Amino acid sequence: MAEEKAKQTQASDMPDWSAYRGVMIVVEQRAGVAKNVSWQLLGEGRKLADKLETDLIAMVLGQDIYHLAEEAIAFGADRVYYCDAPELRDYRTRPYSRVCLQTIEEVKPEIVLFGATATGRDLAGAIATHLPTGLTADCTILDVEPDPSRLLLASRPAFSEKMLATILCKQYRPQMATARSGVFEARVPDPQRQGKIIAVPSQMAEDEIAAQVLRFIEATETFNLEEAEIIVAGGRGLGGPEPFKLLQELADALGGVVGASRAAVDAGWIGHEHQVGQTGCTVRPKLYFAVGISGAVQHTVGMQSSDLIVAINRDANAPIFKFANYGIVGDLFQIIPAITDSVRQKRA
């Protein structure tokens, strides 16, 4: 009853936003390949749009990216606005934000979501400032209230990750948020799905754009934890930086990458970009090895959605075994080299 009253108050407090309808996902791509977070957001956006009984809209920008508009429909979009232009080949804030702003102003979505990547954060910030509206960064849970408020409930860790804050944007539209990769699940793409693909014009000519991309240098050419399909993660049980070489050998044999618990990162054994968990990356690989990791909740929130979890720990009562599909009780220094040898033999 009290909750019902609170909702009514919210709705009556708010301006009339009936001109704004639809949930829009801004798809991020590089060299014609979409980031996984975009498809994950389409999966979550589909649920929000269904709850609001409205359209799921995708926005795709770049050069030679028509195929991504088709993929967006397969991943759940009803409508896709795409802008294909040479000046959009590489991400630059002004030409990208101009096209997005123009499209948002014309289409009037009630919600706009971006991946919480370097590009997504930059673009979302620029757009929110111009519209102007609020922006909730780094969300880990998204939900909506149905009619009449149709509010986006954007939740994210707050106060040094000790609390979860749910942030509302009542006085402005659209409601905007960025969301972390690996938190939401992409739908299985359906190539038979039908939807509308609408071309929109670019808003700036090359000679109006001050920033030039001279060269693109990958931060780490072979390392991408959030998008990795296989992760071999190590914790305090490794006892130092050297044993991470054992994990790297197994990861190389499997075609995966190395992850870590915060204990290993805080000890300085491996870089923070490898950290999985509440204050690191949220990952959703096909295969996750937790090696010498006890299974603290701050670690498991970042990896528990992995398809298959293998835990290796010498303590049979370690909490990580509750999350594991396969558990091996024993000394990692014997078990890891044995698995690596076996993988190499099978691949030889």
Sites of contact with ligand FAD (CB under 6 A): 160-161, 235-237, 261-264, 275-280, 292-294, 296, 298-299, 302, 312-315, 318, 331-333
Q: Which among 20, 22, 79 is positioned nearest to 49, based on CA atoms?
A: 22
Cα–Cα distance measured from residue 25 to residue 30, given in angstroms and rounded to the nearest whole number = 16
Count of Cβ atoms closer than 10 Å to residue 242 Cβ: 9
Q: Is 298 annotated as a binding residue?
A: yes
By beta-carbon proximity to ligand FAD, the closer residue of 204 and 296 is 296
Buried b (16+ CB within 10 A) or exposed e, 150-166: bbbbbbbbeeeeeeeee
Q: Is 192 annotated as a binding residue?
A: no
Q: Is 212 annotated as a binding residue?
A: no
Write down the least CB distance from residue 199 to ligand FAD, Å: 42
Write down the least CB distance from residue 223 to ligand FAD, Å: 18
Q: Is 293 annotated as a binding residue?
A: yes
Q: Which among 167, 169, 184 is positioned nearest to 116, based on CA atoms?
A: 184
By beta-carbon proximity to ligand FAD, the closer residue of 254 and 312 is 312
By beta-carbon proximity to ligand FAD, the closer residue of 86 and 337 is 337
By beta-carbon proximity to ligand FAD, the closer residue of 154 and 318 is 318
Write down the least CB distance from residue 248 to ligand FAD, Å: 17
By beta-carbon proximity to ligand FAD, the closer residue of 195 and 243 is 243
By beta-carbon proximity to ligand FAD, the closer residue of 50 and 161 is 161
Write down the least CB distance from residue 35 to ligand FAD, Å: 21
Write down the least CB distance from residue 236 to ligand FAD, Å: 3
Q: Is 277 annotated as a binding residue?
A: yes
Write down the least CB distance from residue 291 to ligand FAD, Å: 7
Buried b (16+ CB within 10 A) or exposed e, 263-289: bbbebebbeebbbbbbebbbbbbebbb
DSSP assignment of 252-320? HHHT-EEEE-HHHHHTTSS-GGGBBSTTSB----SEEEEES----HHHHTTTTT-SEEEEEES-TT-GG
> Beta strands 111-115 and 230-234: pairing type?
unpaired
Alpha helix (H) residue ranges in 31-92: 36-52, 66-74
Which residues carry a binding-site annotation?
236, 261-262, 275-279, 292-299, 313
Which residues carry a binding-site annotation for FAD?
236, 261-262, 275-279, 292-299, 313
